[in-house]
Amino acid sequence: MDKYVTGAVIRRLRESKKLTQEELAQQLFVSSKAVSKWETGQGFPDISLLEPLAKALGISVIELLSGEEFRNRNRASDMARSKFYICPVCGNVIRTVGEALVSCCGITLPPAEPEEPDPDHLIRVEISEDEYYVTVEHPMTKDHYISFLAAVSDHGVQFTKLYPEGNAEARFRIDRVKGLYAYCNRHGLFEKKPGI
- Judged by CB under 5 A, the stretch of 109-117, 123-131, 161-169, 187-195 that binds Fe ion is 187-195
CA neighbours closer than 13 Å in the CB half-sphere of residue 59: 22
CA distance 57 to 50: 10
- Nearest distance, CB of residue 81 and Fe ion, angstroms: 26
- Nearest distance, CB of residue 188 and Fe ion, angstroms: 8
Q: Which helix (H) or strand (E) holds 103?
A: strand 102-104
**Dihedral of CA 47/53/58/63: which sign?**
negative
Contacts (Cβ under 8 Å, ≥6 apart) of 60: 54
CA distance 179 to 149: 11
Between 30 and 184, name the residue whose CB sits nearer to Fe ion: 184
Q: For Fe ion, which residue has the nearest CB?
A: 184
Query: How many residues interact with Fe ion (rule CB under 5 A)?
Result: 3
Between 161 and 186, name the residue whose CB sits nearer to Fe ion: 186
What would the x/- binding string for Fe ion be over residues 156 to 185, using CB under 5 A?
----------------------------x-
CA distance 175 to 165: 29
Residue 187 binds Fe ion, judged by CB under 5 A: yes
Between 171 and 187, name the residue whose CB sits nearer to Fe ion: 187
Between 95 and 187, name the residue whose CB sits nearer to Fe ion: 187
Enumerate binding residues for Fe ion (CB under 5 A): 184, 186-187
